[in-house]
């Protein structure tokens, strides 16, 4: 029923555990089969320095988690985001059709951990290194809409995609929706701040 590689990763799973100071955490579950997977990642220079997981589920779910952690470690974040359920199943020497959802869950958990890491990064952490390496200053047009990630126009601080008007928080200097009374990023009271750019 299972390939030798599936059995190897089930009997001796790699990278089991939790990263207490994880840079990103992704958790998924399947209410039908009861499988639960949580992935923890450490990121260094845009690469996955460490990947660990905790899985509650069948042998295939454990084998999939182990294989994904091995496949992802050392990859850039973009490369890891390209890992698919089919790739995982191939690396394991195939999975029974009724267990393919396990490989999908594992890939989703890894992707969610990476997305969680990226959401945690502040504007300056995401943009400043790339801008500095290009020998340029950070400019307003580098700002992204927190709702859809589209560039915000530097002229009128408006997101063309979702139509939201913005201003800058006087405390953390991140774009916040016009009319907001509390900054969604630093939680500062901005109810008395005027709408123009600071």
Structure tokens at 193: 């701040």
By three-state DSSP, how is residue 137 classified? Answer: coil
* Spatial distance between the Cα atoms of 52 and 29, rounded to a whole number of angstroms: 17
Active site residue: 102, 143, 145, 159, which one? 102
Contact 44, 65 (CB under 8 A): no
123 contacts 163 by C-beta, under 8 angstroms: no
Would you state the torsion angle of the CA atoms of residues 37, 20, 115, 38, taken in this order, to the nearest 10 degrees? 0
**Local structure of residue 165 (DSSP, 8 states):** B
Q: Is 102 a catalytic residue?
A: yes
Q: Does the active-site annotation cover 33?
A: yes
User: Could you give the residue numbers annotated as active site?
Assistant: 33, 102
């Amino acid at each position: 029923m299972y390939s030798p590689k599936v059995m190897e990763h089930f009997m001796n799973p790699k990278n089991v555990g939790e990263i207490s100071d994880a840079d990103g955490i992704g958790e998924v579950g399947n209410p039908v089969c009861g499988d639960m997977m949580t992935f923890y990642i450490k990121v260094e220079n845009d690469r996955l320095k460490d990947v660990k997981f905790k899985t509650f589920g069948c042998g295939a779910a454990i084998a999939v988690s182990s294989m994904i952690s091995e496949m992802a470690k050392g990859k850039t974040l973009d490369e890891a985001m390209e890992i698919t359920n089919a790739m995982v199943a191939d690396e394991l020497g195939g999975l029974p059709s009724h267990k393919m959802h396990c490989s999908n869950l594992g890939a989703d958990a890894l992707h969610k951990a990476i997305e969680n890491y990226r959401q945690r990064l502040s504007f300056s952490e995401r943009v400043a290194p790339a801008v500095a390496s290009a020998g340029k200053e950070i400019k307003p047009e580098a700002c992204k809409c927190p709702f859809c990630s589209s560039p915000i126009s530097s002229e009128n601080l408006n997101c063309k995609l979702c139509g939201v008007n913005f201003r800058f928080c006087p405390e953390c200097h991140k774009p916040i929706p016009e009319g907001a009374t509390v900054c969604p990023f630093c939680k500062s009271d901005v109810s008395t701040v005027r709408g123009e750019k600071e």
